[in-house]
Amino acid sequence: MRYIPIIQFGVGGVGRALIRQVLATAEQQARYGFQFVYTALADSDGAVVATRHEDEGLARALLEDLVEWKAAGKRLAEHPEGYWQGDLAALVDVAGWPGAIVVDVTAAEAETVAPAFQRARDLGYGIVLANKKPLTGDLRLWDLLHAGPLRYESTVGAGLPVISTLRTLLDTGDSVKQVQGALSGTLGFVMSALEAGQSFSAAVREAHRLGYTEPDPRDDLSGMDVARKALILARTLGLPLSMDTLTVEPLYPPDFAALSRDEFWARLDEVDAEMQARVASAAAEGNVLRYVADVSEAGVSVGVQAVPRESPLGALRGTDNLISFTTARYAARPLVVQGAGAGVDVTAAGVLGDMFQLAQVCR
Ligand SMILES: NC(=O)C1=CN([C@@H]2O[C@H](COP(=O)(O)OP(=O)(O)OC[C@H]3O[C@@H](n4cnc5c(N)ncnc54)[C@H](O)[C@@H]3O)[C@@H](O)[C@H]2O)C=CC1
Ligand SMILES: N[C@@H](CC=O)C(=O)O
């Protein structure tokens, strides 16, 4: 049996679901002749590290306790087994051994995690990302990440096979003309709720409670989360674009950007009337509003579109994403991937699928 050390940054909704899924899939791992062992878990200011590199890593009972601890809103550093830390690169140093996989399920800024990824690359470790920010910052970080074993399926469409589909199309010599679709689970959920008569603010609160939004929901409502996904698709297609080439249309007034998170939540209902009017005006024409991304060699655009209610995008409900690939081979009728595009369980499953793949690559 090969023991594969897992160093995980982030123990939020996705991080906790991932730990549960890793623990629940020991049998599936054994079928491939390996076992994932957690050697380090980190949150924003603390960590728990396996005291020695025994095969077992952090014990199952401790992992289950840490999942409960974090679900109760406590910090890792305050756990009896935890300590304060602010150096993720040092964690990679102490907690890995050859074949290790570093998993980023935070929403941390690229600059915060970049040194740890540099260290992982120096040591030949694999990297799995659900965090989109490292892939959408400086192109030098994109190149560094791609200089070794890397998977990032969950960054676009959560657990849906979007990146792997695109990669297969490219690897098999297809020519991808356009990738288009609805890429936000949160905005899909909110638009569906508005169509059903719920208020905008109530729908956003519900999406947050259900674990669909980014830690700061303004990342979703500003269009930035969709823009990041579109940029990841564009870069995967080989287009060396930067975020400043994209224009994004926020669903809140400009002054909301400077508010604290608490102030933002307190004032969110100020947007209700305008969003209700926009939805009603689209409905009067037989349309619904969808936040649509369009990626091709001509460039990337993201923004709100009024689409016919009966169209494939218009018929989407809840958190469902729809991504269509128009290619030389799929020319007349595009290849379509559709399903839940947000939620901690589907996202964690996408990350775990990536880990299974890297386990067979990293030695
Ligand atoms: N929730 C979803 O449906 C999806 C989420 N994702 C991505 O997964 C990531 C995590 O999302 P959630 O779990 O929903 O967010 P969350 O807010 O529940 O968890 C984020 C965790 O990261 C930790 N963290 C923040 N900065 C850190 C740092 N510097 N070092 C270590 N830990 C740090 C926080 O303490 C928190 O535990 C985000 O990047 C998000 O975009 C991707 C696809 C879908
Ligand atoms: N907040 C995102 C989560 C997945 O990336 C979304 O709502 O789509």
**Long-range pairs for 136-143 at CB < 8 Å and ≥24 separation?**
136/110, 136/227, 136/228, 136/231, 136/232, 136/243, 137/109, 137/110, 137/111, 137/243, 138/110, 139/235, 139/240, 139/242, 141/110, 141/114, 141/117, 142/235
Residue nearest to atom 2 of ligand 2 (CA): 213
What is the rounded distance in angstroms from the CA atom of residue 323 to the CA atom of residue 338? Answer: 6
Active site (annotated) includes residue 229:
yes
Residue nearest to atom 3 of ligand 2 (CA): 342
Residue 193 amino acid letter: A
Ligand 1 touching residue 46 (CB < 6 A): no
Mean pLDDT of 99-128: 97
Looking at CATH, the fold of the domain delimited by 166-340 is given as Dihydrodipicolinate Reductase; domain 2 (3.30.360)
Flag whether pLDDT at 247 surpasses 90: no
Distance between Cα 156 and ligand 1 center (Å): 14
What is the rounded distance in angstroms from the CA atom of residue 50 to the CA atom of residue 6? Answer: 11
Q: Report pLDDT digits (tens) over 19-55.
A: 999 999 999 999 999 999 999 999 999 999 997 655 6
Q: Report pLDDT digits (tens) over 123-161.
A: 999 999 999 999 999 999 999 999 999 999 999 999 999
Q: What's the CATH number for 2-159+345-361?
A: 3.40.50.720
Flag whether pLDDT at 262 surpasses 90: yes
Q: For the chain, what are the domain ranges?
A: 2-159+345-361, 166-340
% the chain with pLDDT above 70: 99
pTM, full prediction: 0.97
Ligand 2 touching residue 153 (CB < 6 A): no
Task: Look at residue 53 in the predicted model and tell me its pLDDT.
Answer: 57
Helix (H, G, I), strand (E, B) or coil at 292: strand
Sign, CA torsion 102/100/95/121: negative
What is the rounded distance in angstroms from the CA atom of residue 285 to the CA atom of residue 353? Answer: 42
The number of the ligand nearest the C-alpha atom of 319 reads: 2
